[in-house]
Chains A and B, each alone.
Chain A
Amino acid sequence: MADTLSTPRILAPHLDAFQNRTIRLIGRVTQLRGETASIDAQGTVTAILNRDAHLSVGHAVEIVGKVQGDLSVRVLQSTDFGAERDFDFAAAEALVDATHRYKEIFYSD
């Protein structure tokens, strides 16, 4: 049973395995194009923004969103994690790795 309450942490390479699911993704904002933005999370992810998304280029961002059929992410909630230089992406990526390796304390399914 897919737990609707949990939002697995993923990176760009995992998008394919999480189609139509709500996920959590941390990356750098590289480009803003009105309705969409490009996020770098070990690969480029296209985010379809909602109205209250306030993204800034060069900042780290955490997105909770739904993975679409074309592997873009429809944003449900976005949180600015501050300037890129202040955020440890290596730690966040290590965390994604740990969450999938030791799933039992993070996600059901």
Chain B
Amino acid sequence: MANYGYQGAYSTTTYGNQNAAAEGGGFMNGSQSGSQDSPGGTKTYGKDTLRPVTIKQLIEAQQPHPDSEFKIDGTDVTQITFVGQINSISSQATNTTYKLDDGTGLIEVKQWIDADAISDPTKQLPKEGGYLRIWGRIKAFNNKRHIAVHVLRPITNFNEISCHLLEATAVHLYFTRGGPPTGEVKAEGGGDGGMFVDNNGGAAGGGSNASKLSKMSPIARKVYELLKTSQQSNEGLHVNVIAQQLHVPANDVYKAGDQLLGDGVIFTTVDDETWAVLEY
């Protein structure tokens, strides 16, 4: 299954086919918690990531076109991981289907049976009412959504459930509100813990623009950061230049620009597509 990233130049490899029962997870190269990336650094858009999610997020994931990658919070998801309590188990000739519930929704999870695998009699078999940790991918089949499992294992330490759901929240907030503002990262101690720090509080000292930025999408912040820091004439930068320097599609830059223009932190100069930072 090829994963077509935003950048055509990337050749992205996904490992394994989804039908292997005991397939290991793919190649992880995401920067979900990489809030300390330098602005304008290479963001690994379109590459395989492993994202912790809730079942509600899986049910509500958007698929822009059939066969395209699913999107959660506007970001492509490839591999996902979640936890859930087993509602029912149905064993079929080729696969085992579990219905899992994590309190946020219910989803079907299919594990294909690998005929060549040597069965291990000591292995703990999942039981109804037990909790499972799943690694897999979202699949759509006849308008029905299910998860194709790469790996699953029963949960024995129940703190994993709290941990997972909090992690899913942190990642959700990272994608919707952005990580802690760059430059404030150190003051907040950085790391994952910083995600729960109120962004407005963190940026309060940075003036009105900083507090507006903390509510914007990560890409809008990157565009602002670039406009603010890069060498330029007083005409500012053109959309295409920004897109090139940030390695993102021009479309995304337009959207980011709309947010920034709407909030009055940047303004248009020689034409509608050339922007500069509004300092006051």
Of B54, B106, B173, the residue contacting A106 (CB under 8 A) is B54
Decide yes or no whether A5 CB sits under 8 A from chain B.
Answer: yes
CB <8 Å contact, A88 and B57: no
Known: A81-B158, A88-B162, A91-B163. A106 touches B103 (CB 8 A): yes
CB <8 Å contact, A24 and B103: yes
Interface window among B5-13, B164-172, B202-210, B242-250: B164-172
CB <8 Å contact, A102 and B173: yes
Of A6, A7, A82, A104, the residue contacting B158 (CB under 8 A) is A82
Name the residue of chain A whose CB is nearest to the CB of B162: A91
Give the distance to chain B from A55, nearest Cβ to Cβ, in Å. 14
CB <8 Å contact, B103 and A91: no
Known: A88-B162, A105-B168. A79 touches B106 (CB 8 A): no
Decide yes or no whether A8 CB sits under 8 A from chain B.
Answer: yes
Determine the chain B residues whose CB is within 8 A of the CB of A107 once the complex forms. Answer: 56, 104
CB <8 Å contact, B166 and A91: yes
How far, in angstroms, from A102 to B165 measured CA to CA in the complex? 11
Interface window among A27-35, A36-44, A92-100: A92-100
Of B53, B105, B106, B166, the residue contacting A95 (CB under 8 A) is B166
How far, in angstroms, from A82 to B158 measured CA to CA in the complex? 8
Please report the number of residue pairs spanning A and B whose Cβ atoms sit closer than 8 angstroms.
Answer: 62
Decide yes or no whether B24 CB sits under 8 A from chain A.
Answer: no
Determine the chain A residues whose CB is within 8 A of the CB of B163 once the complex forms. Answer: 91
Of B57, B106, B168, the residue contacting A5 (CB under 8 A) is B106
Decide yes or no whether B40 CB sits under 8 A from chain A.
Answer: no
CB <8 Å contact, A9 and B159: no
The A1-29 residues at the B interface (CB cut-off 8 A) are 3, 5-9, 24
How far, in angstroms, from A81 to B104 measured CA to CA in the complex? 19
CB <8 Å contact, B162 and A95: yes
Give the distance to chain A from B126, nearest Cβ to Cβ, in Å. 14
Determine the chain A residues whose CB is within 8 A of the CB of B54 once the complex forms. Answer: 105-106
Of B85, B105, B162, B172, the residue contacting A6 (CB under 8 A) is B105
Determine the chain B residues whose CB is within 8 A of the CB of A108 once the complex forms. Answer: 56
7 closest cross-chain pairs (CB), A and B: A91-B162, A81-B158, A95-B162, A7-B103, A24-B103, A106-B104, A88-B159
B residues lining the A interface (CB < 8 Å): 53-54, 56-57, 85, 101, 103-106, 129, 131, 157-159, 162-163, 165-166, 168-169, 172-173
